[in-house]
Structure 1
Amino acid sequence: MTDFTKVKANLEKRGYAVSCFATAAEAADYLDGKLDGRTIGIGGSVTVREMGLLDRLKAHNTVVSHWEGSRKEDAAFTQVYLCSVNGLAETGEMVNIDGVGNRIASTVFGHEELYLIVGRNKLASDYDGAVWRARNVASPKNAIRLQRKTPCAVKGDKCYDCNSPERLCRGMTVLWQPSNGIGRTEVVLINEDLGF
C-alpha cells in the first residue's frame, strides 16, 4: 500500500486541497456525491474512464467529453474540469504532456473547480522523475492506445523526441501551485494503479 503522507503534505504546502482514497470506487463515490447540477469537462483521461465516472456524472450533471461526441475545445467552457496527470512528484510538482493542448490549457485557466485525479502509479520521487515518467511511460502508452505511427508507439519503450506528424507530446505543463486562472484545485489521490 502506498503511503501518501509525504506527497499530500507537499501538495497542501503548495496550496492544493487533497483527498486520499484506498480505491477508485471510493474516489468515484466521493466525486459523484460532490458534483451535482454542474457543467463538467473531461479531458482524454483514461483514469476518469477506468473509474466509470463519465456515466455516473452524466446522470445529474451536464458532461462534456470528446469521448461522448463533444469537440475537445467544448470542455474548456465548463464550470468544473476533471483530468489526471502523467507524473506527480512526491515533492508536489505535477506534469502533463499533451498533443492538442486542450487538457493542459484546462488545468491552468478558465474553470471554477479543477480535480486532478491521480493513481499511485503516477508517483515519482522528484520533479525529474515525474517529467521522465510523463515522457517515457505515459506518452508511449498513449501513443500505442491511439495507434499512432511514432517511434514510441512502435517500440513502446521510451520517448524518442521524434518529428512524426502523429507525435502526441507537443506541449508540457508543470503545475507548481494552483493556477490563479482556476477557482479551486483539488488533487484526488487513489491507492490503485489507474491510467497511464
Structure 2
Amino acid sequence: MNFDTIKKKLEALGYKVSCFDTTAEATEYINGEIDGKTVGFGGSMTLEEMGLYKALSTHNDVRWHQRIPEGKTSKEVRLAANAAEIYVSSVNGLAETGEIINIDGNCNRVASIFYGHEKVYLVAGENKIAKDYDSALWRARNIASPLNARRFGLKTPCAVGELRCYDCKSPERICRGLSVLWSKPMTGEFEIILIGEKLGY
C-alpha cells in the first residue's frame, strides 16, 4: 500500500511517521527504538500479532494487562502502564484526512494515548485506514468494536448478531469511551507506525 498521502497529512499535523511493508520490519524498528525504558501497552490484537511484547521485554520493563505478572492484578498493571515512560497502542480507525480514532471500555488506553508519556507510538495496519473521519469512526464502531466483543466472548448484540454497532445498553458493552486525535497533542512525542499488512481488528 502507498502511504505517501496519509504520511504527508499526518506529518503536517505534527506527528513523526514511519512506514513499513511488513510487520516484521515494523517490530524490528520499534524494538530498536525503545531500550531500557518502562513501556505501557494498550489492549491490542495488533501488538499481539506483532510479537512486540516478547521483543521489548528482553530489554525493557513492559506493563501490559494482557500479560499479568504473578501477584499482580489487572488494575495494578493498567495503572503501571499509564505511568510508563513510553506508551504503545494500535488504533481502531485512521482517516486519510488525519484523524486517529480509538474506542475503549475501561478507557485506560484512550487516557494514556492523550497524555502523560515521553513518547507514544500508535501502530496501524493498512486495514485500519479509512478515507475520512466519518469512515474511520464507522470502522471503529462497526468492525473493530464488534470483533473485540466477540474475542472476549461477550453477549452484546454486536458479538452474537450481525457485525455492526447497535448502540446497546448491555452491561457488557465495551464501547464506553471514544478518543479522537485531530492533531498531535502539545506535549510529548508521537510517532505513527504504518504497516502494509492487515493487523488486528
**Normalised TM-score (structure 1):** 0.97
- Give the residue type in structure 1 aligned to 2:67: E
* Counterpart in the other structure of 2:80: 74
- Give the residue type in structure 1 aligned to 2:59: H
Alignment of 1:95-114 (within 5 A): 95-114=101-120
Q: How far has the Cα of 1:179 moved from its partner? A: 1.5
Structure 2, unmatched stretches of 5+, are: 69-73
* Counterpart in the other structure of 1:53: 52
Structure 1, unmatched stretches of 5+, are: none
Take 1:68 and 1:156, find their aligned partners in 2: how far apart are those partners?
Answer: 31
Take 1:172 and 1:73, find their aligned partners in 2: how far apart are those partners?
Answer: 19
* Counterpart in the other structure of 2:200: 195
* Counterpart in the other structure of 1:63: 62
CA contact (8 A) 1:119 1:193 kept: yes
Query: Identical aligned pairs, as a percentage?
Result: 54
2:123 is paired with a residue of what secondary structure? strand
- Give the residue type in structure 1 aligned to 2:171: P
Of 88, 100, 107, the residue aligned with 1:94 is 100
Take 1:72 and 1:149, find their aligned partners in 2: how far apart are those partners?
Answer: 24
Q: How far has the Cα of 1:73 moved from its partner? A: 2.2
Take 2:80 and 2:39, find their aligned partners in 1: how far apart are those partners?
Answer: 10
1:108-148 CA distance string (max 9 Å, x none): 01000000000000000000000000000000000000011
* Counterpart in the other structure of 2:176: 170
Runs (4+) of structure 1 exceeding 3 A deviation are none
Take 2:64 and 2:98, find their aligned partners in 1: how far apart are those partners?
Answer: 28
Query: 2:153 matched to 1:154?
Result: no
* Counterpart in the other structure of 1:41: 40
Aligned residues: 194
* More deviation, 114-123/67-76: 67-76
- Give the residue type in structure 1 aligned to 2:52: L
**Normalised TM-score (structure 2):** 0.95
RMSD (Å) for aligned C-alpha atoms: 0.8
CA contact (8 A) 1:87 1:122 kept: yes
1:4-37 CA distance string (max 9 Å, x none): 1111011001000000000000000000111000
Take 1:191 and 1:73, find their aligned partners in 2: how far apart are those partners?
Answer: 32
